[in-house]
Amino acid sequence: MLIVTTPTIEGKKIIEYHGLVTGESLLGANVYKDLFSGVRDVVGGRTSAYEEELKKARTVALDSMGEKAAHKGANAVIGVRLAYQNLGGTMGNTIMVTVFGTAVSYQD
């Protein structure tokens, strides 16, 4: 599944638009506790374990979106955007990763 942030695919002809597809993933409060208990992992002001968890959450969201696009018969998703939101409140310190784009079919 080709996933791009651009509105077109250079050198390819889009032959069908299948509509909006999304993917979501949550990074829960327990992860915060686990990660920040090992603050010694901070290098140059960055927590590599936390970055790795964010990467996993982003990958899950992208994979979910790609599966939904494939289910619609698409072979690409264009105009992809990513968003991160701290849900806070009753959800604790939960971060939601959301990705969305337009599922399309293109010809080589």
Q: How far apart are CA 56 and CA 34, in angstroms?
A: 15
Closest CA to 39 of 29, 30, 49, 52: 49
How many domains does the chain divide into?
Answer: 1
- Here the CATH number for the domain that contains residue 39 is 3.30.110.70
Q: Is 5 helix (H, G, I), strand (E, B) or coil?
A: coil
Structural domain boundaries, residue 54 = 2-107
Q: How do residues 21-59 score in pLDDT, each as one tens digit?
A: 999 998 875 555 555 545 545 555 555 667 788 899 999
Q: What is the pTM of this model?
A: 0.80
